[in-house]
C-alpha cells in the first residue's frame, strides 16, 4: 500500500517498501493474532489486518497524536479487526490475549526487554523488528545469542527517483535492518 | 514467502525481499488477472495467486526447465489459478485474455516492445518491472517519456547476514530497480 | 578530506566518501592537468590539487556564488595550482590547455556533448563522472556504446550514523553513479 | 588504485572503492607512521605508502600466504617504506615504534582488545576500521561508549556493472562499515 494513502501527520512512518518486506517476513495467516508495537500511523496494523480477515491486530502506541492517526487510518480503510491500545510495551502486553505474531517498529529503547517477554509468553511467536539504531541491532544480536535462537538479519536500502524537470534523480532513504525470528516453519 | 520454500533448480529467482516489494507495488485485488512475464521458478506467480483467490495468473516462460519448475511449484503450493504458458512475450500475449496487472521479470531484451503492447491492450494496466540491466532501465525511461506516462522508479539493495561461527557477516545482494506504472489509483 | 573543512554556502557538494572514490578512479599523477567541470564548492579541485603538486586544475563553474566558494576554498587550503574559470562547459573548454584528466560533477544537462568533446580533444583522457540523474546515466551508456569505448560503472550508496542520545541512527545518503572511462592503463 | 593491479592469490582484499574511502578517512600526512593490521594482500599498505613518501607503514599479517603477497606487492610497486611483520595483533605491536595512524582490516576477533591497546599507546592516534561482522560493529560501539570517545560510522555499499553482451548488469558487493576515530582535527 502506498504511503500517501495513509493519514500521516508528523508521526514517523514505516515506508512502503520496508513495510512490504516486513509483512512478508511476518508470514501472517488468515487467523493470526498480531501485536504491532510502536504502531505509529498504523500503516502496518492496517495492511496486516487486511491480509488476515479472520485475525486480530493489537496496535500498541503510547503517543497521543499517533493513537489518533491509527484510529483515523483504521476508519479510512474500514478494517474492523484492529484494536488500538494506548500505552507502552512491555507493560500493556500483560493485559492482552497472547499473540502468534509481533511486529516491533518502535520500543523506546526497550527492545531486549520486549523481545524477551514476547518469546516467554509464546516461544513459537513469529517476530519481525525494524531497527535503525545500531545499538538496537546490537541488543537483538546479544539477546539472540543468549537465548540460543536463530534470527535472520537483512538490511534494506531503498532509493526512490524524484522527478526534476525531465529527469529522475535517485534519492536515498535510510537503511533499515529487518530482523526476523521464531515462528514455526512449514 | 521464503526462497527456500520453492523448488528452484538452476533457474534465477526473484529474491524474497524484492518479490515482496514488487507484489506490494502491483496492488493486486482478489479478482485480478496477472501476466507474470519471464516467470522463472514461478515464485511470483505462486505468491500472487495466493493473494488473489478469485483471480487468475498467466505464467509466461520460454525455457523448458523453468516451465517445469513453475508447474512443480504450482503443485507444491496447491494453487489452481496459475496457467503456465510456454513461449515468448510479446508473441504469446495475443492469445491470452486481457490482464489487469503485469509483472515483468524477464524479457529477453524486449522490454520496450512488451510494455508498449501491454499498455496498448489495457491502458490502465498496472505494470511492475524488475530490472538489473542499466540498458533496460534506460529503455523504460525513454518509453515512459515517449508515452507521457508516469513511472515510479525505486532501487532496492538488500544485504543479508550469513552466520560464520558466532558472527553475522553482511553479504550484499544485487540491487534491483523496481519500476511501477499505470493502474487506477484509489 | 572532511566535508566540514570546506566553506560551503548553499551550493551542493560532492560528499567526502564519493569524492574519495572519484579521486581514486581519476588516477591522477603528480603532474596531471585536470578539468573539474561543475566545480561547485571546489572540494574536488582542492583535494585533487593537493594530490598533484606539479599539476594544474581548471575549476569550471558557471554560478556566481559557487565561483566565490571555489576561490575561498582555494585560499583556505593554500593551493596555488587551481585556476577558476567562470563559464559553461563545453563552451569555455576551447580556450583552455588540453587536459589529461577530467572530473565531471555537473553538466547542466550537457553530459554527452561534454564527454564527446573531451574525448575528441584527448582520446586518452581519463574521465570520471558523478551522476545522480538516471537520464544522465542513460546518456553516458549510449555514448559509450556509440564510441565503442569501455566504461566502468559503479554505484555507491553511503549511510552515515547520526548521534541521537546514546544511539547511532543510520541515515541514508543519495546513491551516486561513478562512471570512469579512458586513460592509459599501466 | 585498481584491484587488478595487485597480486592477489586467494587472500581476501579490501575492494578499491572501500580502500579509497578508508584511506581518505585515515587523513595521512607525508610523514605518518601507519599500522596496517590484517594487511591481507597489502593493498592498503602499498597505497598508503605511496601517499606518504616520508612516512612508514608496518604491515601486520599472520597468514603465511598473505605475508608473501604483501612482499610481492611491495616489490611490484617499488615502495620501500613498508615493513612486513608476520604475527598477530595485539601481540606484535609492543615491539614496534609508536604509530600516528592505524588501519584495522582484520583482527581475528580481537577488535576491542586491539583498539584499546592502540588508543592507550597513542590517545590521539587516528584509527580507521573496516568491519563486515555485525558483532565487530557492536564491539566497537561499546568500546567507544566505554572510553567516551566519538566515532564516525559509515556504511558503504557498492554495486559494480558487469558486461553481459551489450548490457551492464549491476552486481552488489558486500556492504562495509568504515569506522573512524581519534586523530587531531585541523
Angle between helix D134-147 and helix A134-146 axes, rounded to 10 deg: 110
Q: Is the pLDDT of residue A28 over 60?
A: yes
Q: Is the pLDDT of residue A153 over 70?
A: yes
| Torsion angle defined by CA atoms of residues C91, C92, C97 and C103, in that order, rounded to the nearest 10 degrees | -90
Provide CB contacts within 8 A for A40, sequence distance 6+. Answer: A11, A12, A13, A14, A61, A66, A69, A70, A105, A106
Q: Are C134 and B141 within 8 A, CB to CB?
A: yes
Please report whether residue C11 resides in a domain: yes
Q: Does A24 touch chain B (CB under 8 A)?
A: yes
Provide CB contacts within 8 A for D69, sequence distance 6+. Answer: D7, D8, D9, D11, D40, D41, D42
CB-nearest to A17 from B156, B168, B186 is B156
Q: Are C134 and B157 within 8 A, CB to CB?
A: no
Nearest CA in chain D to C160: D154
Per-residue pLDDT of B19-43, as tens digits, reads 999 999 999 999 999 999 999 999 9
Per-residue pLDDT of C35-85, as tens digits, reads 999 999 999 999 999 999 999 999 999 999 999 999 999 999 999 999 999
Per-residue pLDDT of C135-178, as tens digits, reads 999 999 999 999 888 899 999 999 999 998 888 999 999 999 99
Give me the CATH number covering residue D49: 3.40.50.150
CB-nearest to B16 from A1, A24, A168 is A24
> How many Å apart are CA D140 and CA D151, to the nearest integer?
9
Nearest CA in chain B to D164: B133
Q: Is the pLDDT of residue A185 over 60?
A: no
Q: Are C17 and D154 within 8 A, CB to CB?
A: yes
Q: Is the pLDDT of residue A119 over 70?
A: yes
Cβ contacts of D156 on chain C, cutoff 8 Å: 17, 156-158
The predicted pLDDT at position A112 comes to: 87
**Angstroms from B161 CA to nearest CA on chain A:** 5
DSSP E strands, B1-73: 33-37, 56-61
Closest CA to C99 of C20, C25, C26, C18: C26
Cβ contacts of D161 on chain B, cutoff 8 Å: 134
> How many Å apart are CA D180 and CA D170, to the nearest integer?
29
Please report whether residue A186 resides in a domain: no
CB B20 within 8 A of CB A23: yes
Burial class, C154, CB count within 10 angstroms (exposed 0-12 / middle 13-18 / buried 19+): buried
The predicted pLDDT at position A55 comes to: 97
Closest CA to B70 of B89, B84, B81, B88: B84
Please report whether residue C62 resides in a domain: yes
Distances (CA, A) of B165 to A142, B85, C178, D90: 14, 45, 36, 22
Please give the helix or strand (H or E) that residue A180 lies within, else none. strand A176-182
Q: Does C23 touch chain D (CB under 8 A)?
A: yes
Is A6 strand, coil or helix?
coil
How many CB atoms neighbour CB B3 within 10 A? 14
Distances (CA, A) of C5 to B56, C14, C15, C41, C73: 60, 13, 12, 11, 9
Show which subunits contact C, needing at least 3 CB pairs below 8 angstroms. A, B, D
Give chain D's count of helices (H) and strands (E): 5, 8
Q: Are A141 and D141 within 8 A, CB to CB?
A: no
Please give the helix or strand (H or E) that residue B76 lies within, else none. helix B64-76
Cβ contacts of D134 on chain A, cutoff 8 Å: 137-138, 141, 153
CB C10 within 8 A of CB C40: no
Nearest CA in chain D to A157: D157
The predicted pLDDT at position B170 comes to: 95
Closest CA to A81 of A102, A57, A113: A57
Share of chain B above pLDDT 90, in %: 82
Q: Does C186 touch chain D (CB under 8 A)?
A: yes
Q: Quick one: pLDDT band at residue B186, thresholds 50, 70, 90?
A: very low
**Angstroms from C166 CA to nearest CA on chain A:** 8
Q: What is the CA radius of gyration of chain A?
A: 16
Q: Are C166 and D155 within 8 A, CB to CB?
A: no
Per-residue pLDDT of A10-23, as tens digits, reads 888 889 999 999 99
Distances (CA, A) of C166 to A106, A107, A140, C16, D166: 16, 15, 16, 25, 50
Distances (CA, A) of D117 to B36, D102, D111, D121, D145: 58, 12, 10, 6, 16
The predicted pLDDT at position D39 comes to: 93
Q: Are C21 and D20 within 8 A, CB to CB?
A: yes
Distances (CA, A) of D101 to A86, C111, D25, D28: 52, 40, 11, 7
Per-residue pLDDT of A37-61, as tens digits, reads 999 999 999 999 999 999 999 999 9
> How many Å apart are CA C23 and CA D20, to the nearest integer?
8
Tell me which residue range forms the domain holding A108: 3-181
CB A60 within 8 A of CB A87: yes
Nearest CA in chain A to D138: A138
Q: Is the pLDDT of residue C108 over 90?
A: no
Per-residue pLDDT of B42-60, as tens digits, reads 999 999 999 999 999 999 9
Q: Is C109 left (phi over 0), alpha (psi -120 to 50) or beta?
A: left
Mutation site for B-interface testing, chosen from A153, A166, A169, A184 by largest number of B Cβ within 10 Å: A153
The predicted pLDDT at position C176 comes to: 97
The predicted pLDDT at position B4 comes to: 92
Q: Is the pLDDT of residue B184 over 80?
A: no
> How many Å apart are CA B157 and CA B169, to the nearest integer?
16
**Angstroms from B155 CA to nearest CA on chain C:** 10
Cβ contacts of B171 on chain D, cutoff 8 Å: 174
Q: Does B175 touch chain D (CB under 8 A)?
A: yes
Cβ contacts of D142 on chain C, cutoff 8 Å: none
Alpha helices by DSSP H, listed for chain C, are 16-26, 43-51, 64-76, 111-121, 134-146
The predicted pLDDT at position A99 comes to: 96
The predicted pLDDT at position D136 comes to: 92
Is D156 strand, coil or helix?
strand
Is C122 strand, coil or helix?
coil
Q: Are B175 and D174 within 8 A, CB to CB?
A: no
The predicted pLDDT at position D186 comes to: 43
ipTM score of complex: 0.94
Closest CA to D28 of D126, D130, D153, D129: D126
Q: Which residues of chain D have pLDDT under 70?
A: 185-186
Closest CA to A8 of A47, A58, A42, A50: A42
Please report whether residue C28 resides in a domain: yes
Per-residue pLDDT of B105-118, as tens digits, reads 977 778 889 999 99
HSE-up of B71 (CA within 13 Å, CB side)?
9
Distances (CA, A) of B124 to B1, B92, B118, B182, C25: 28, 20, 10, 6, 45
Q: Is the pLDDT of residue B185 over 60?
A: no
Question: CA A87 from chain center: how many Å?
Answer: 16
Q: Are C172 and A168 within 8 A, CB to CB?
A: no
Q: Are A141 and D153 within 8 A, CB to CB?
A: no
Cβ contacts of B181 on chain A, cutoff 8 Å: none
Burial class, D59, CB count within 10 angstroms (exposed 0-12 / middle 13-18 / buried 19+): buried
Mutation site for B-interface testing, chosen from C129, C132, C133, C138 by largest number of B Cβ within 10 Å: C138
**Angstroms from B170 CA to nearest CA on chain D:** 6
The predicted pLDDT at position D185 comes to: 53
CB D102 within 8 A of CB D32: no
CB-nearest to A134 from D153, D157, D175 is D153
Burial class, A184, CB count within 10 angstroms (exposed 0-12 / middle 13-18 / buried 19+): exposed
CB D55 within 8 A of CB D33: yes
> How many Å apart are CA A48 and CA A29, to the nearest integer?
10
Provide CB contacts within 8 A for C104, sequence distance 6+. Answer: C37, C38, C111, C114, C115, C127, C128, C129, C130
Section A133-162 average pLDDT:
93
- How many separate domains does chain B show? 1
Question: CA B4 from chain center: how many Å?
Answer: 18
Please report whether residue C186 resides in a domain: no
> How many Å apart are CA D137 and CA D120, to the nearest integer?
20
CB C128 within 8 A of CB C22: yes
C positions 115-174 inside 8 Å of B (CB): 134-135, 137-138, 141-142, 153, 155, 157
Amino acid at each position: 500500500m502506498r504511503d500517501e494513502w495513509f493519514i500521516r501527520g508528523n508521526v514517523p512512518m514505516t515506508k512502503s517498501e520496508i513495510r512490504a518486506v516486513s509483512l512478508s517476513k511476518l508470514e501472517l495467516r488468515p487467523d493470526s493474532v498480531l501485536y504491532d508495537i510502536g504502531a505509529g500511523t498504523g500503516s502496518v496494523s492496517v495492511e496486516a489486518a487486511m491480509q488476515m480477515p479472520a485475525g486480530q491486530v493489537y496496535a500498541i502506541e503510547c503517543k497521543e497524536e499517533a493513537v489518533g492517526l491509527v484510529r483515523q487510518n483504521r476508519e479510512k480503510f474500514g478494517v474492523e479487526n484492529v484494536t488500538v491500545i494506548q500505552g507502552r510495551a512491555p507493560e500493556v502486553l500483560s493485559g492482552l490475549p497472547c499473540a502468534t505474531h509481533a511486529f516491533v517498529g518502535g520500543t523506546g529503547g526497550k527492545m531486549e526487554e520486549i523481545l524477551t517477554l514476547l518469546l516467554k509468553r509464546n516461544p513459537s511467536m513469529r517476530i519481525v523488528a525494524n531497527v535503525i539504531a545500531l545499538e538496537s541491532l546490537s541488543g537483538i544480536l546479544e539477546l539472540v545469542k543468549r537465548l540460543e535462537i536463530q534470527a535472520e538479519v537483512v538490511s534494506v536500502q531503498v532509493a526512490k527517483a524524484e522527478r526534476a524537470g525531465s529527469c529522475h534523480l535517485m534519492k536515498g532513504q535510510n537503511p533499515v535492518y529487518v530482523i526476523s525470528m521464531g515462528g514455526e516453519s512449514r
